[in-house]
Every structure is written in C-alpha cells, then in structure tokens.
Chain A
Amino acid sequence: MSSQRYSLFSVLRESLRGHTGWKPAWREPEPKPSYDVVIVGGGGHGLATAHYLARVHGVTNVAVIEKGWIGGGNVGRNTTIVRSNYLLPGNVPFYEHAMKLWEGLEQDLNYNAMMSQRGIINLFHSDGQRDAYARRGNAMRLHGVDSELLDVEQLKPILPMLDFDNARFPVKGGLRQARAGTARHDAVAWGYARAADGRGVDIIQNCEVKGFRVENGRVSGVETSRGFIGAKKVGVAVAGNSSRVAAMAGLRLPIESHVLQAFVSEGVKPFIDTVCTFGAGHFYISQSDKGGLVFGGDIDGYNSYAQRGNLPTIEDVCEGGMALMPTIGRVKLLRHWGGIMDMSMDGSPIIDRTPVDGLFLNAGWCYGGFKATPASGWCFAHLIATGEPHPVAAAYRLDRFATGRLIDEKGVGAQPNLH
C-alpha cells in the first residue's frame, strides 16, 4: 500500500536529500485468482470507479485490469476541459455532480491534478444562437449550476484577440460558466490509481481481456492474457473499444467508434486565460501551463479504430481557429493526435447493467468522457456496489434506445458521426 502522503513538508524533505526517498505511486501486483469486483479498463473512468468502490462503498477486493499501461487511452488524449454546461435534465445533474467532485478532487486524492477553474465561454454569433444559449444558461441555473450571459462589451477585456467584426461570423456574445476549466489529464489517471492502490485495489497492467466466463447467465470471471481471473462482478469501462469487449459477452451495442483529433501548438506567452469555443464552426481552445495552445474540433466522421485521422479535418479545425482569432495564424503546430470515441446513437453515455448478470457497462462517452470522469466513476461504483443506478445517472440506460427515452443533447438523431 502506498503510505507516502504528499505535502509541502514531503517536498521540502525530499529536496534536501536529493529526491531519493520517493516511492512508486502504486504497486505492480500479480493477479490474484479471484476478486469481488474486476474493472476492465485502466483509464480515467475505470480507475475512478475502483477508487470510489473502495472509498465510498468499502469494496477493496478489486482489480483494475488494463491491456496496455494505465492512462494510455483517451484520458491521455483529450483536451483537458472540464465543464457542466448541459441543457437536458438527464445530463445536467450528472455533469454538475462531476464538476463538484472535480472541485474537491485534489484533496480527496492527495494528488496535484492541476485543476484550474479558468472558466469556459461558448461564443454566439447570431440572435437565434444567443436565444439558444440563454435557454441553456437558464436550464443550468434552474439546476443550480452557475452560468452568465456576456455581451460583446463584457467579452472584449476577457478575449481581446477575437475577430469580433468578422464579416460572416461576427461575435455577438458568449455564455460563460466560470467554474469550468481544465485539469492535467494524465495526473487525473495517476491520482486515481494511487488513491485506489492505497486502499488495496490491485492495478494490473499489460493484461488484456480475451473473453468473459458466463455460467447460467451470470458472469464468473474474465479470461485474460495472464490467465483466468475470477470475479463476482465485472465492470467494463473501455470507451473506444466498448463494442469489441461487449461482443465477447455476446452483446451488440448502440455505439460506433470514431476518431477525434486534437492539437497543440508551440509554446507561446500567456495568450488566453479561459476556455473558449467558436459557435459558428466546431473549434475550442485553451492554453496549457507550458504555453501551448490546446485545441480541437469535430470528429473525422467515419468509423475508425486507428487513433489517427485525416488532413481535411485538420484543415477544418484550423479554418475555424482562423475565423475566430486570426492572430494565431503564425503559430506553429507542434503535435496532433487522435483518440477513439465511443459515439453512442444519441450522443449520451451508458452506465447500466447488461443482460448478463453481474456484468456492468460504462460506455458511449462520445467526445465528452474526460469531464465526466469523477461522476462516471462515482455512479458506476454505486451501480456495481448496490446493484441500483445512482440517481444522477439514472437516465443513462442501455435500453433507452428501445424504449424511446433518448437523451439527444444535440438533436441530430441516431447518426453518430453528427453528434
């Protein structure tokens, strides 16, 4: 168990003895023959689930199994934005629960996740869009979430670099959520891993699931590349590959895997101190603590497991950026990468039981999984421990597509490449 507590004192002590006293943040145990709960997927959601199973529900005989290394998937491939500016009743309480957990995350984990509540501003460019954002802001306030509608005069001091008088897409204002912001994505995975390990959870890396053992309709364990591991309950949190893993249990999901690209520029001096999104195209930007402009846009729009995208989407994202803030035109692109998204058929996630007893599914995060990490883990742990959905995630049913209770935040229907 990791007994080392990080503090100002421990940093000072280690600085005086050449940093020789730091211990590994988590163990590397061999898998035990069986566990009460096995979590498949050592990403943000799986590790958060293990942490909350141990901390909130006292379930510590838990293993997280990961085919590669923890935090090597989408939790390390996103643009680090956290926010809860949603519209629909099924979504707002869930994402606000996540936002509240983000606010106390570093104290809970004793880990610096570099949580920065720098705010997010969604820009609008027409009267109709202003009305839509006013409605969204009011919906948020009715759910107890902060929101603020800004006009151009209020925006100018905050975002002086915007092309306010753009001929096609003049900036008319923005909807701001001041409590939103960014968090160091890798540190979120590492912090959850360390905290879960400290409570006795086994984190088993380089261990790929090859199948599920199901007896009389109930799951009894997982076949892995390191042998069979017995389990009373199994939770699957492998967004991007949910269809492939669920197929091993005979399930067909309302999900397509798509590639989303993200970008970071060379480091520049402090330029933008909030998260900002373009309303007339799909472009969002923030600045990392190292100075790089971190930005992204739409998914490529076709099924893909390749973790890399194509040039037309890169051009489209950069065109969006240039329409919004032409001053970034001379900045060089440092890196771009792709992640595989579980695009669900209504754009909303799934946290639910499956037709196989004891097998639980956490999937369909589209490109909004990172901000949901704490609440996803909290609610998935609640479901696994108690067998009942958590109240704020009660709408994320797997069968909602059959019953018609869709949560179509964007209103485009069953067309994953448009969400």
Chain B
Amino acid sequence: MRIACPYCGPRGVDEFSYLGDATLKRPDPAAENADAAFHAYVYLRDNPAGPHRELWQHASGCQSWLVVTRDTRTHEISAVEYARDAAIASAGAE
C-alpha cells in the first residue's frame, strides 16, 4: 500500500502512522448531552466495509496530517488531502 502524500509524492505505507476515522467531530463539552456525545466520539465507530475517510500522518516524511479516503475491502485509495483543507471544507459545508 502506498499513499500519495500531497507534499512528498507517493510513499510506502510504513512511513505513515494511523489515527483512524476522520469523520468524527469533537462534541461540545458544555452541551446538555455531553456524556453520551463523548462516549460516541471516543468509543463508537461506523467501521464501514467500503470507502473510509481516515487520518494518517506522514510521520517519517513531511509530518503532514492527511485525510485519506480508502476502501477497506481492497485497500484502494481514492483521495488524499491535507487534514487542514478537509477541516476547512467540512466547516464551510456547515
């Protein structure tokens, strides 16, 4: 598996470290239902068999945090973007 880092180009997966599901949003700690929301945020996952947006860091390269869209059934990667860009796009959509 190779990940096409937007800064460094395609690199072996051993240069990257994995954090997991990139679609999770940290809940508001002051909200009424913060307990339940944080339980879901910290522990529960959709865990799809199919396209999965996930956070990787190019730890042995440029150190960039990336959002990678990868099919968990085939390991095929369809998109790689900077996590910052993904966060701005997602905030803009809301």
Residues of A within 8 A of B (CB): 241, 243-244, 247, 252-257, 301-306, 310, 312, 315, 345, 401-402, 414-417
Tell me if B47 and A256 are in contact (CB < 8 A).
yes
Tell me if B75 and A243 are in contact (CB < 8 A).
no
Tell me if B39 and A256 are in contact (CB < 8 A).
no
Residues of B within 8 A of A (CB): 1, 12-14, 18, 20-21, 35-36, 39-40, 42-49, 52, 54, 70, 72-75
How far apart are B48's CB and chain A's nearest CB, in angstroms? Answer: 8
How far apart are A121's CB and chain B's nearest CB, in angstroms? Answer: 30
Tell me if B12 and A414 are in contact (CB < 8 A).
no
Q: B residues within 8 A CB of A243?
A: 45-48
Q: A residues within 8 A CB of B40?
A: 252
Distance in angstroms between the alpha carbons of A254 and B35 in the assembled complex: 16
Tell me if A310 and B49 are in contact (CB < 8 A).
no
With A256-B20, A312-B13, A417-B18: A303-B47 Cβ-Cβ less than 8 Å: yes
How far apart are B26's CB and chain A's nearest CB, in angstroms? Answer: 14
Contacts across chains A and B counted by CB atoms under 8 Å? 70
Tell me if A345 and B43 are in contact (CB < 8 A).
yes
Describe B's contact surface by its main secondary structure. Answer: mixed
3 A-B pairs with least C-beta separation: A312-B14, A243-B47, A254-B43
With A243-B45, A243-B47, A254-B43: A305-B20 Cβ-Cβ less than 8 Å: no
Q: Which of B20, B47, B72 has the most A CB atoms < 10 Å from its CB? A: B47
Tell me if A306 and B46 are in contact (CB < 8 A).
no
Q: B residues within 8 A CB of A247?
A: 46
With A254-B45, A255-B45: A303-B12 Cβ-Cβ less than 8 Å: no
Distance in angstroms between the alpha carbons of A186 and B73 in the assembled complex: 25
Tell me if A303 and B39 are in contact (CB < 8 A).
no
Q: List 14 A-B contacts (CB under 8 A).
A: A244-B49, A256-B20, A256-B21, A302-B70, A303-B20, A305-B72, A306-B72, A306-B73, A306-B75, A310-B1, A345-B42, A345-B43, A414-B43, A417-B20
With A304-B72, A305-B72, A310-B13: A416-B46 Cβ-Cβ less than 8 Å: no
Q: A residues within 8 A CB of B36?
A: 402
Q: B residues within 8 A CB of A253?
A: 44-45, 47
Distance in angstroms between the alpha carbons of A412 and B46 in the assembled complex: 21
Closest B residue by C-beta to A406 = B43
Tell me if A252 and B73 are in contact (CB < 8 A).
no
Distance in angstroms between the alpha carbons of A75 and B13 in the assembled complex: 28
Distance in angstroms between the alpha carbons of A345 and B43 in the assembled complex: 6
Q: A residues within 8 A CB of B14?
A: 312, 315
How far apart are B70's CB and chain A's nearest CB, in angstroms? Answer: 8
How far apart are B53's CB and chain A's nearest CB, in angstroms? Answer: 11
Q: A residues within 8 A CB of B52?
A: 303
Distance in angstroms between the alpha carbons of A348 and B36 in the assembled complex: 21
Tell me if B47 and A255 are in contact (CB < 8 A).
yes
New A-B contacts (20) at CB < 8 Å, excluding given A257-B72, A345-B42? A243-B45, A243-B48, A244-B49, A252-B45, A253-B47, A254-B43, A255-B45, A255-B47, A256-B20, A257-B49, A302-B70, A303-B21, A304-B72, A306-B74, A312-B14, A401-B43, A402-B36, A415-B20, A416-B20, A417-B20
